[in-house]
Amino acid sequence: MSHDKIKAVARERMAETGEPYATARREVIKNYQEAGPGAVSSSSARWFAIDYSDMGRISLWTDTLLGGGPGRGGVELNSTVLRVLMPGFHLDIPRASVRSATRSALRTRSIGVHGGHGRWLVNGSRNGLVELTIEPPRYTPRQPSTLFRKMKVSSLTISLIDPDGFIAAVEGK
């Protein structure tokens, strides 16, 4: 892949995810190398934004300061990986590990990133909740939201602006 092509795809990824250029470039190169020759570019990825409608002003300001907030926190879905991004939390899940994606009946008062015992909630709203069942379970990288420990994820509930579109895209494997 030429330098100009890497630069263009990295800038496109920056616009979609809000990542810094160096991170976006590194991910573009990694995805290209993993995909091998002749693979579809990462520009075929779809973006589903996290719903931040119930987040308070101070929390929303903090999230935005940390690189998240409306339009930057969300789920990137391509043919091989489902990538969840929110300030202080990210998780890559192979599409083959997602056993189901359904509207969640969870009633929560919590906003943010919360987890334990394999069940995680990543939300900015109490609306549009989608639950993913993950088998085999994935483990988070060491990051602030997990107190820098690797944590098991077998169920992930996410608040999305377009939950039905996301479910259809995941099931359309």
pLDDT above 50 for 39 = no
pLDDT digits (tens, 9 = 90+) for 84-94: 998 888 899 99
In this predicted structure, what is the pLDDT of residue 173? 52
Q: What does the pLDDT look like over 95-108, one tens digit per residue?
A: 999 999 999 988 88
Instruction: Round to whole Å and give the CA distance between 82 and 129.
Output: 16
The predicted-structure confidence for 45-85, as pLDDT tens digits, reads as follows 899 999 988 887 887 777 777 777 676 789 999 989 999 99
Mean pLDDT of 21-28: 86
Q: Residue 44: pLDDT above 50?
A: yes
Question: Which pTM does this prediction carry?
Answer: 0.70
Structural tokens at position 69: 């907030």
Identify whether residues 70 and 86 lie together within a single domain.
yes
For residues 5 and 27, membership in a common domain is answered with yes
Angle of CA points 103, 106, 111, to nearest 5°: 105
At 36 the pLDDT is 52
Same domain, 100 and 148: yes
In this prediction, residue 84 carries a pLDDT of: 94
For residue 13, pLDDT over 60 is answered with yes
Whole-number Å distance between alpha carbons of 150 and 143: 8
Q: What pLDDT shows up at residue 129?
A: 95
Q: Please name every residue paired with 114 in a beta bridge, in sequence order, or none if there are none.
A: 121
Question: Can you name the residues that pair with 121 across neighbouring β-strands?
Answer: 114, 157
Looking at 122-161, list the stretches that DSSP marks H as alpha helix, in order from N- to C-terminal side. Answer: none
User: Do 97 and 148 reside in the same domain of the chain?
Assistant: yes
Residues 125 and 154 in one domain: yes
Shared domain check, 107 and 69: yes
Phi-psi region for residue 154, left (φ > 0), alpha (ψ -120 to 50) or beta? Answer: alpha
Count of structural domains, the chain? 2
- CATH number of the domain where residue 135 is located: 2.30.29
Q: Residue 157 is part of which domain span?
A: 45-171
**What are 123-161's pLDDT values in tens digits?**
989 999 999 999 999 999 888 878 889 999 999 999 999
| Shared-domain flag, residues 157 and 116 | yes
CB 127 within 8 A of CB 160: no
| Residues present in the chain in total | 173
Residues 105 and 162 in one domain: yes
* Helix axes 3-17 and 21-35, enclosed angle (nearest 10): 120
Whether residue 71 is found in the same domain as residue 130: yes
